[in-house]
Amino acid sequence: MNLETNRNEDWMKLMLSEVNRQMEKIKLGGGKKSMEKQRERNKLTARERIDYLCDKELPFVEIGAFAGYGMYEDEGGCPSGGTVAGIGYVSGRQCVIVANDQTVKAGAWFPITGKKNLRMQEIAMENRLPVIYLVDSAGVFLPMQDEIFPDKEHFGRIFRNNARMSAMGITQIAAVMGACVAGGAYLPIMSDETLMVEGNGSIFLAGSYLVKAAIGEEIDNETLGGAVTHTEISGIADYKFSTEKDCLDHIKKIMNKTGAPATAGFDRIAAKDPLKSIDSIYGVIPEGNLKPYDMLDIIERLADNSEFDQFKKDYGKTILCGYARINGWAVGIVANQRLVCKSKKGEMQIGGVIYNDSADKAARFIMNCNQKKIPLVFLQDVTGFMVGSRSEHSGIIKDGAKMVNAVANSVVPKITIVIGNSYGAGNYAMCGKAYDPRFIYAWPSAKIAVMGGEQAAKTLAQIQVATMKAKGKEVTPEEEKLLLDTIKDRYFKQTTPYYAAARLWVDGIIDPADTRKLIAEGIAAANHNPELESFKTGVFQV
């Protein structure tokens, strides 16, 4: 290992260490005191519930751990969006699991909570995965009700999705381990089976205080909507248990008897480790992502036996396309190449930029993968499409549109890993969040923005200075520099993977060494949905 590789590895591992440090804070939810209060009531925390429920020998992939990060600080924060969620295995069956975190504002729903829950239901619907809800929530966070209650992508969409998933034949199981109040009461009842824990679980449209205020009736919450009431009187719930572990054990029994799903038939053989150690992946990207590097060095650390069969190897060199296997699964890889290279005409091409020939190649390759029913993996490190008169006259917009068209209409599962830059229309063409990847993850080195920070900050600063001067205000060089630095700080903060993960633009910030495992788990999930649509691209300008 040379000095530069060592430096690169130190840089990446330092960023990863900070991600892990922040993650440890997030795992505390609403804090140690709130967690202790949970245990005093004989209740497990959300993470403890998931840990007990899931098969220990198989992976649990957390989704949206950084949801709400740095948001709602005036309200005391909302770690993980007040919900712990992911994809795990219960009795050998891959499932979506969603657990309210009662330690965070009594499990109340913030706007990001709604977005995260909808994301988990989207994953379940796209991949036909069973859903297990571990319910412990006080309902909508009232101070922000206007941002979570009435709109199409708000709280009510959850119950609409319950109904849609039931019609799709997707199993839904709800275990009520705490409060389940108001509109939230519909979620467990719209699930296939409802389990309740005596003494803690309760379901009602209005609690005892509101009932007294509304109709003058005096009643305690347990009698109003506890486990005994709903299993013996109303018939709303199906099972009651004296402890949470008994309740979770019964979920395992239900999943153990659930029929095997049909599959999409994506090709898989016995997995082989890469010839190049996955642990050496940390040293590939140059510190600060400021220098070119060979994307093949990344691919050869992800692919089985480090084998990658390139498509149109000598054409459109700023995008690498080709076939590989990842943990045994056949995949088509579309990756930005950061090396400076020559085109077929002998012209120098800047790495990380999409040129006409690269876009043309990628569009054709994506269509081939759809034809062969091969899942797609996008490895993003892109600064955008090439600009200038030569590109415009060659029809870069037409070729870019061709690639975007192919990505948008692709019907095979798409998994996106944002390794470095993800700027402008390059984000779209390389299957950013707006293009429905089944799963999308970011490395600690990822940056997502409309353009690079330096260019954007200078552009914004120039506009503001020009505006001030037009109004007759003199701007000194010192004031101009201060303005530029302020804009830079704000802009760079908005490009970090933390900012993206907080808003669920990505499903998580991951350890680069876990990339191979996460891609494989994503394809395993996608393989549960046998109903692929026919691939149609619409109108191309050729």
CB atoms within 10 A of CB 391: 18
Pairing of strands 193-197, 202-204: unpaired
Q: Give the span between the Cα atoms of 483 and 458, in whole angstroms.
A: 10
The pLDDT of 433-455, averaged and rounded, is 90
Comparing CA positions, the residue from 375, 370, 380, 374 lying closest to residue 414 is 375
Mean pLDDT (the chain) is: 92
Question: What's the CA angle centered on 419, arms 301 and 72, to 5 degrees?
Answer: 135
| pLDDT level of residue 245 (50, 70, 90 thresholds) | very high
| pLDDT level of residue 340 (50, 70, 90 thresholds) | confident
Q: Give the span between the Cα atoms of 302 and 223, in whole angstroms.
A: 56
**What is the pLDDT, as a whole number, of residue 143?**
85
H or E segment and range at residue 523:
helix 515-526
Q: What is the DSSP letter of 270?
A: -
**pLDDT for 449-464, tens place per residue?**
987 767 767 777 778 8
Q: Is the pLDDT of residue 140 over 90?
A: no
pTM metric for this prediction: 0.94
Q: Report CA 164 to chain centroid distance, whole Å.
A: 22
**What is the pLDDT, as a whole number, of residue 393?**
63
Q: Give the span between the Cα atoms of 124 and 117, in whole angstroms.
A: 11
Alpha-carbon separation of residue 434 from 428, 499, 505 (angstroms): 7, 16, 9
* Three-class DSSP category at 72: coil
Buried/exposed 508-522: b ≥16 CB within 10 Å, e otherwise:
bbbbbebbbbbbbbb
Q: Report CA 208 to chain centroid distance, whole Å.
A: 38
The pLDDT of 214-221, averaged and rounded, is 88
End-to-end Cα separation, the chain, in angstroms? 47
CB atoms within 10 A of CB 146: 10
Q: Is the pLDDT of residue 503 over 90?
A: yes
| pLDDT level of residue 141 (50, 70, 90 thresholds) | confident
CB atoms within 10 A of CB 352: 25
What string of DSSP letters covers 191-241?
SSEEEEETTT-EEESS-HHHHHHHH-----HHHHHBHHIIIIIS---SEEE
**What is the pLDDT, as a whole number, of residue 542?**
58
Sign of the alpha-carbon dihedral angle for 410, 376, 523, 268 = positive
Please report the beta strands in 28-82, taking only residues with DSSP state E, as ranges in sequence order.
Answer: 61-62
| pLDDT level of residue 483 (50, 70, 90 thresholds) | confident
Comparing CA positions, the residue from 234, 129, 245, 255 lying closest to residue 185 is 234
| pLDDT level of residue 398 (50, 70, 90 thresholds) | confident
What string of DSSP letters covers 242-282?
SSHHHHHHHHHHHHHTSPPPP-----B------SS-GGGGG
**pLDDT for 307-337, tens place per residue?**
999 999 999 999 999 999 999 999 999 999 9
Residue 111 · residue 76 · CB < 8 Å: no
| pLDDT level of residue 6 (50, 70, 90 thresholds) | very high
